[in-house]
Amino acid sequence: MIALVLIVFGYVAFAWFTATISSSMTVSRLEGEIRGPEDLGGKRVATVKGSTSEAYLQHLPAVQIRAVDTIDQAYSALEAGQVAAVVYDFPVLSHYANGEGQDKVRLTGPVFQREAYGIVFPEGSKWREPVNQVLLQLSEQGGYDRLYLKWFGRAPN
């Protein structure tokens, strides 16, 4: 009787141990090895020359920066396995990952550094006020969120 209990307990313990190791390895493989900026050290990372992303990467230790002329060159380097990641503006990366790059690349980790966008007009431009009014109206009526969802695949936060 004791041997039977030990055998059943042994099967359960072995199955639990195997399942734990398998799920841990699967989650690790699904998440990838880059989950945030702290994981970029020692890896080749593509970004666009002269961008704020390049400046950001220069402050991270041991990141091997591959600065390219266009974001499309960065995507090509990633898909060819020449770099481990691409760091650039979230809306641009999100649009690519949810469109042309779908099933080839994926976004990972949090936004590394929040930055605001702006629209620049010459001083005294007649377009400043009408554009501000339309942007405010889009924001208040939910149009901005709908556009964001359409082009970037998830609601803005």
> Is the pTM for the entire model greater than 0.75?
no
Q: Could you tell me if 45 and 57 are in contact, meaning their C-beta atoms sit under 8 angstroms apart?
A: yes
Strands 85-86 and 44-48: parallel
Query: What DSSP assignment string belongs to 115-131?
Result: --------TT-TTHHHH
Please give the pLDDT value at position 45. 95
What mean pLDDT is predicted for residues 66-95? 93
Please give the pLDDT value at position 157. 58
Q: What tens digit of pLDDT does each residue of 113-133 get?
A: 888 778 899 999 999 999 999
What mean pLDDT is predicted for residues 51-72? 94
CA–CA separation, 103 vs 132, rounded Å? 37
Please give the pLDDT value at position 29. 42
Query: What DSSP assignment string belongs to 50-97?
Result: TSHHHHHHTTSTT-EEEEESSHHHHHHHHHTTS-SEE---HHHHHHHH
Which segment, 18-22, 31-35, 91-95, is predicted with the most confidence on average? 91-95
Angle between helices 71-79 and 90-97 (to 10 degrees): 50
Q: How does residue 31 score in pLDDT terms, banded at 50, 70 and 90?
A: very low
Please give the pLDDT value at position 32. 59
Q: What tens digit of pLDDT does each residue of 134-156 get?
A: 989 988 898 888 888 887 776 65
What mean pLDDT is predicted for residues 35-39? 83
The domain limits of the chain are 1-31, 37-97, 118-157
Q: Cβ contacts of residue 33 below 8 Å, gap of 6+?
A: 39, 84
Structurally, what CATH architecture does the domain formed by 37-97 represent?
3-Layer(aba) Sandwich (3.40)
